[in-house]
Amino acid sequence: MENVKNDGDIREETTERLEQAMGSLGTAATASMEERLPWFRAMSAEYRSWVGLVAQAGIAGFVEWFKHEEKIRPAIAGEVFGTAPRELMRAVRLQQTVEIVRVVIDVVEAQVNKLAAPGGETQLREAILRYTREVAFGAAQVYARAAETRGAWDARLEALIVDALLRGEVDESLHSWAAALGWASTSVAVMAGHTPDDEPEAIIDDIRIASRRARVDVLAGVQGSRLIIIVGGVEDDPLAAAKPFTSKFGAGPVVVGPRVEDLYAATGSARAALAGLQAVAGWPDAPRPVLAGALLAERALDGDDDARAFLVEEVYEPLRDAGAPLLDTLTTYLEQGSSLEATARLLFVHPNTVRYRLRRVTELTGYVPADGRAAFTLRIALVLGRFMSRPANL
C-alpha cells in the first residue's frame, strides 16, 4: 500500500525546497525590482544593494516562519530592515516598501509549483498570503514609529536652532541642523509675539501647516509666553511674508524683524523683533503685524542699543553732515508744530526754502517730517545725536 504524506511531511519537504532556492529567489526578486520599479533603478548602486539585501532577508524570514509551521512571529519589516543602514528608512518610503514586498511575493508565487512539495501548493500559497499580510501590517507600524521618533527629534532640533539664533550662538552647525529639517531658504525674517493658549505641540503643528500652504520654510519655537517664527524665502516685503502666520500668535502685538540674507544673519532680525515686542507698548495703536523698523523710536527710548545706533548713524549723522541749515530747519520745523510759515519766519527764509530743505531731509533719512510718526522718530534721532555729540567732560 502506497504511503500517503501528511501535512507535516509536505511542509517539511516544501521547506527544504525553499531553503535550497533562497539564493535564486533573492536574485530573481532583485532582477524583478530592476525591471518593474523605476525608483529602484534610479537609486545609487549602494542603495540598490541594500534594498536587494532587504528583499533577501524578507525571503529568509518567510522560509524560517514557514519552517516552524507559522508558530513564530513573522520577520516583519522592522527586523527585515535591520539588515540595512538607518538611512535607508528615509530613502525608501512606506509605499515603496509595499512595492518591494509585492515584487518578492510575486516572484515566490510564480514558482509555487516548483517550490511546493506535491500536494503542498495550496498550503504554500495560503502561507504566502498570511505572511504578506503580517509584513504589510508590520511595515506600517515600523514607519509610524519612525515618523513619531523623527517628529520628536525634529521638534527638539528646531527648538535648538531657534534658541541658538535668539542667543546669537551662530556657527556652521546651525546650517547643518537646519538642512536636516529641510531648510533651503536664504532670505529670512523673524516674527515675535505672544503664545496662544494651545499646547506648544499644537501651535507648532498649525504653523507647519500654514508654511506648507504658503510654500515657505519656517522654523518656530515656543519660549514661555513668547512665540518666535523664523520665515524663509522672504522677498521684498517682510510684512507680506509674515501675513500667513499672524493668526498663529496669541492676543497682542506681532513684530516682524528686518529681512536678512540667511540664517547666519537671522540673529539681528530676531533681536530687532524681540526689542520691538518689548517696546511696542509705547505705540498702543500699532498695526498687527508691525515692522520692528517702525518702532525705532520706542525701541530707542526703551534702551535698545541697536535702535539708538541706527537713529544716530542713519538719521542724525547724514543730517549733520549735510550742513547746519538742514539740521536747523528740521529742528525749528519740529519745534514749531510742523508749521512751514512759522519755521520760515524764525529762519528768515521763504517757505519754499523750508519745503526744499524738508524734502532733502526725506531724501537723506527716508522719513517725511510732515508725517506724525516720522516726525516723532526724527525728534528722537535728533536728541540721541546731540547726546552723542556733547563734550565728554559734561
Task: Kindly state the cell numbers that stand for 67.
Answer: 519552517
Beta-bridge partners for 51: none
Among 207, 210, 230, residue whose Cα is nearest residue 219 = 230
Q: What would the pLDDT profile of 145-175 be if each residue is shown by its tens digit? A: 655 555 555 566 677 777 777 777 666 666 6
pLDDT for position 2: 46
How far is 285 from 373, CA to CA, in rounded Å? 11
Helix (H, G, I), strand (E, B) or coil at 296: helix
Task: Write out the DSSP string of 322-386.
Answer: T-HHHHHHHHHHHHTTS-HHHHHHHHTS-HHHHHHHHHHHHHHHS--TTSHHHHHHHHHHHHHHH
Among 278, 210, 279, 216, residue whose Cα is nearest residue 246 = 210
Average confidence (pLDDT) over 239-254 = 91
pLDDT for position 91: 65
pLDDT at 176 exceeding the cut of 80: no
Q: What would the pLDDT profile of 51-88 be if each residue is shown by its tens digit? A: 887 778 778 878 887 887 666 655 544 555 544 455 55
- Fill in the DSSP letter of residue 315: I
Q: What would the pLDDT profile of 197-225 be if each residue is shown by its tens digit? A: 877 778 888 888 888 888 888 888 888 88
What percent of the chain has pLDDT above 90? 34
Q: Which CATH architecture has domain 305-389?
A: Orthogonal Bundle (1.10)
pLDDT for position 162: 75
- Any idea which of 68-77, 176-185, 345-354 has the lowest mean pLDDT? 68-77
Would you list the domain boundaries of the chain?
A: 7-148, 172-292, 305-389
Q: What would the pLDDT profile of 351-367 be if each residue is shown by its tens digit? A: 999 999 999 999 999 99
CATH of domain 172-292: 3.30.70.2730
